[in-house]
Structure 1
Amino acid sequence: MTKLVGIWDGVPHDTTRPSVTVVVPALNEARNLPHVAARMPVDVDELVFVDGGSVDGTADVARALWPAAKHLRQTRRGKGNALACGFAAATGDIVVMLDADGSTDPQEIPRYVAALTSGADFAKGSRFIQGGGSSDITRFRRVGNAALNKLVNVLFGTKYTDLCYGYNAFWRRHVIEMRLPDVETQTPQWGDGFEIETLVNVRVAASGLKIAEVCSFESSRIHGVSNLNAVSDGLRVLRTIKQEYAYARASERRVAPPVTVDFNVSASPISDSLMSQAEATA
């Protein structure tokens, strides 16, 4: 039986604790939600569940598992729009982005909260630093992620080790720096799809926020088939990188390298030669 953990286990009771909201976007994940719920920390302050128009009873299962949660229907299609809707509804001091397919472990949430309460503005999950890993990523996706990751580090002067991973957390006051599309607009917007992770990662770096990478293990989804398409979504990520770089150059905004907060969370530096390329390009 899974032992339920608390976000604040081991923290003195008289410590001032920020409130934590977990945002869970889902599309046809009814069979996976019980597993996610069973591993959710017992002291999450708020859960925002965003349904993408599921046809398998996902919304009903979510209401049964989390009756006190905020239950929303996203306004357009795509993971990016679902997350934007969730962020708009969140009221916690800290917001955690969590997938509904069982691939991201809710019991890792305390790591992300620890990063933020130790001084980071944005806690970015990484499968490729010590303590992280994946049983889901294919060799093709791993190579593609590495190439896109290197490109972002060169163009933006960042030190990311895992660009295309969506398990992240941040102080809610920084959502403004993400410049997400208006959730009330009915017309599809850039940022509505799987490019959302890259868009957020680049924009928080461009804003000079303190970023800490947190080790995370990605499991294989439990049931169903992923909505991710490695080729088409990879091209969307590439287009996102090009557009954000063009915007940064046009705006004469210089991207500050993320600061890794030292609290025993590993970070892998890029090579000296790659750093030289980044400095020359920036």
Structure 2
Amino acid sequence: MTGSRRAVPRGRTSTWPPRPTLDGLDSSSGGACRCSASASAATPAARTSTTGPAPTARTADRTGARGSGVGGGVPAGAHADRPRPPECPTVTVVVPARNEARNLAVVLPRLPAEHQVVIVDGHSDDDTIAAALRARPDAVVVQQTRRGKGNALVCGFAAATGDIVVMFDADGSADPAEIPRFVAALRDGADFAKGSRAVAGGGSEDLTRVRGWGNQALTWLTNLLYRTRYTDLCYGYNAFWRDILPALRLPDHYPAGDRLRWGDGFEIETVLNCRVALAGLRVREVASVELCRLHGVSNLSAPRDGLRVLRTLLTERLRRRGDAARPAAAPAAVAVAACECAARPVDAASSR
């Protein structure tokens, strides 16, 4: 069974496409998903575990728990304005990229052809955009509005039209063959499917011993502060239903400029994990194997990034206490607003 797909002109790029409204999603838009009766079998029970951020989840079975969350029980789909498609959700793969031309030439052809692919260019100095369009002519390419991986992801989330959004690195460390597992976990009742290298079937070809120790310590602290049962905090291969975005209260991608906002940098992945837990969303961990980067050098620094994650954990916890002391904001104030500007096609070379 193949769902319908929104037509995307070949080679389409834009300085910014219209931001889709996150309210009242249209399940007929975005990348189509080929579903079958065996879709749930794509993720064997032995390869996934459910992380329930909740007081009651402490006593629940890891492979079948439905966490009630720090702030109380939130049923799956509670943040949706309409029922989620039960059979064939559409999928958008968001790929932030900066100077990743060589990697994109290898990675993009391996992504499922039926999914919408959104490339978020971080003002690259190489031919990232041209390489992306050669490898995936139907991709939607947008320029991020500020700097940092967090801003790039938020720009991609706003351009996404699928029911499900997959966060996918451009360096070749994520395996496209694992996407059906994430989709199956979401269709099975999760709000957020979190990749884990630590559960049965997961692993890493790139994780150093020092980074591994740091990740274990930060994961332990997260579980203590947020009453979660995560097994792998510092891993960015995740997927989620797009209708939960308003509940996550991520920074808007406007205004553009050089002034960074909280969540614009690499802390975005920790911010997501914290806010998913605090929102009481249902999380299922999916076994994932981290591959080695194909080309280029990683910008990761264990001491610097570890301290950034630690700061993020403490800041998000304090912000939560501050939010609890203030009156609740109106839904419109926390949702990612719809863009009112029209898409302006630009030449691929001029957008570098």
Aligned twin of 2:295: 223
Query: How much does 1:36 deviate?
Result: 1.0
User: How many aligned positions are there?
Assistant: 246
> Is 2:68 aligned against 1:42?
no
Query: Could you give the per-residue CA deviations for residues 79-134 of structure 1, whole angstroms, max 9, x where no partner exists?
Result: 11100000011111000000000000111100000000110000000000000000
Aligned twin of 1:277: none
| In structure 1, distance between residues paired with 2:324 and 2:219 | 22
Aligned twin of 2:282: 210
> Is 2:37 aligned against 1:11?
yes
Structure 2 portions without partners, runs of 5+: 1-31, 40-85, 326-352
Structure 1 portions without partners, runs of 5+: 1-5, 254-282
Query: How much does 1:9 deviate?
Result: 5.7
Give yes or no for contact 1:134–1:217 (8 Å, CA) kept in 2. Answer: yes
Aligned twin of 1:64: 134
Q: 1:17 to 1:236 in 2, by over 3 A?
A: same
Q: 1:81 to 1:189 in 2, by over 3 A?
A: same
> Is 2:125 aligned against 1:55?
yes
Query: How much does 1:67 deviate?
Result: 1.7
Which of 159, 163, 167 pairs up with 2:237?
A: 167
Query: How much does 1:168 deviate?
Result: 0.3
Which of 229, 246, 260 pairs up with 1:188?
A: 260
**What amino acid maps onto 1:142 in structure 2?**
G
Structure with higher RCO (Cα < 8 A, 6+ apart): 2
**What amino acid maps onto 2:226 in structure 1?**
F
Query: Could you give the per-residue CA deviations for residues 42-72 of structure 1, whole angstroms, max 9, x where no partner exists?
Result: 321x111001111121111011112212101
| In structure 2, distance between residues paired with 1:53 and 1:252 | 38
For the residue of structure 1 that corresponds to 2:102, the secondary structure is coil
For the residue of structure 1 that corresponds to 2:141, the secondary structure is strand
> Is 2:175 aligned against 1:90?
no
Query: Could you give the per-residue CA deviations for residues 205-245 of structure 1, whole angstroms, max 9, x where no partner exists?
Result: 10010100000000010100012222222211111101111
Question: So what's the TM-score if we normalise by structure 1?
Answer: 0.83
Query: How much does 1:152 deviate?
Result: 0.6
Which of 267, 272, 294 pairs up with 1:200?
A: 272
For the residue of structure 2 that corresponds to 1:251, the secondary structure is helix
Aligned twin of 2:151: 81
> Is 2:104 aligned against 1:33?
yes
Give yes or no for contact 1:8–1:110 (8 Å, CA) kept in 2. Answer: no
> Is 2:347 aligned against 1:246?
no
For the residue of structure 1 that corresponds to 2:94, the secondary structure is strand
> Is 2:179 aligned against 1:153?
no
**What amino acid maps onto 1:66 in structure 2?**
R
| In structure 2, distance between residues paired with 1:221 and 1:101 | 5
Give yes or no for contact 1:78–1:193 (8 Å, CA) kept in 2. Answer: yes
The percentage of aligned residue pairs carrying the same residue is: 59
